[in-house]
């Protein structure tokens, strides 16, 4: 007996995901709106987040506002130290979205994350495909890291070989000394993957304390002279390059 194959439509999603893809809200917030009864599909109230819709054919309204797909936007931010990379924080700590407070932007989300103590280059977009491509591919990410001592050459080689840290095998694609003083130095570290607190954990395994950590580039896109807390739209050539 032949198995019947269902037709696949790339424009059909759950209502929760559709609202997110259309750039109106995150999936978490979209689900809350649906359950609260303010979401209508083709004029009918829908309270089931898993309800299937076609974003090209069905008309979705939220609080009587028709939801249409916004233009894709791509942003680079110089993240300051002390901000959490999330839309909202349950402990009411300041988030990276504090940097966009005075600007009228559609729903955007960070591409990956930087921890609270880390500064530097962070992308934002409303393009899920672009975000997924960046996070799933082995694009070089360059960091400048200030540490509390000056490593010997063999230590740098060991950092490139890597080691097990808890349940993760961590290593650097490349690492070199940028500049040094009498007791401290700056390293340039290249990663082509990014595990949880990757740089801090591996340096800690070799008894180096991180004093400052800044991401300065992703692929060909560099932080440049963008000031802390400031942002700009990416040029089309930059978007295409990455």
List C-alpha distances in Å: 61 to 25, 33, 52, 64, 205. 13, 11, 15, 5, 52
Tell me whether strands 74-79 and 221-222 are parallel, antiparallel or unpaired.
Answer: unpaired
Residue of 115, 132, 166, 240 marked catalytic: 115
Annotation says 115 is catalytic: yes
Task: Measure the N-to-C terminal CA separation of the chain; round to a whole number of Å.
Answer: 47
Contacts for 41 with CB less than 8 Å, ≥ 6 apart: 15, 51, 53, 58, 59, 60
How big is the chain by its Cα radius of gyration, in Å?
22
Q: Is 213 helix (H, G, I), strand (E, B) or coil?
A: strand
CA distance 59 to 37: 16
For residue 158, which phi and psi values (nearest 5 degrees)? -65, -35
Check: CB of residue 15 under 8 Å from CB of residue 51. yes
Residue with tokens 């839309």: 87
Q: Phi and psi (nearest 5°) for 155?
A: -65, -40
C-beta of residue 191 within 8 angstroms of C-beta of residue 141: yes
Q: Say if residues 168 and 156 touch (Cβ distance below 8 Å).
A: no
- Active-site residue list: 115
């Amino acid at each position: 007996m032949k198995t019947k194959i269902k037709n696949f439509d790339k424009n059909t999603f759950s209502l929760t995901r559709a609202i997110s893809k259309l750039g109106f809200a995150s999936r978490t917030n979209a689900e809350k709106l649906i359950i609260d009864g303010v979401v209508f599909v083709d004029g009918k109230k829908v309270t089931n987040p898993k309800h299937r819709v076609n974003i090209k054919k069905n008309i979705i309204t939220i609080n009587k506002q028709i939801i249409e797909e916004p233009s894709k936007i791509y942003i680079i931010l110089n993240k300051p130290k002390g901000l959490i990379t999330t839309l909202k924080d349950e402990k009411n700590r300041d988030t990276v979205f504090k940097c966009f407070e005075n600007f009228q932007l559609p729903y955007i989300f960070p591409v990956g994350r930087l921890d609270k103590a880390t500064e530097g280059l962070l992308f934002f977009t409303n393009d899920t495909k672009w975000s997924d491509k960046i996070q799933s591919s082995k694009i070089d990410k360059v960091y400048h890291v200030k540490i509390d001592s000056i490593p010997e050459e063999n230590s740098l080689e060991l950092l490139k070989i890597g080691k097990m840290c808890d349940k993760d095998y961590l290593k650097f694609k490349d690492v070199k000394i940028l500049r040094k003083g009498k007791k401290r130095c700056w390293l340039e570290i290249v990663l082509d993957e990014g595990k949880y607190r990757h740089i801090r954990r591996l340096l800690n395994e070799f008894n180096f304390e991180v004093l400052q950590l800044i991401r300065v580039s992703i692929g060909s896109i560099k932080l440049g002279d963008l000031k802390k807390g400031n942002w700009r739209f990416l040029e089309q050539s930059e978007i295409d390059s990455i």
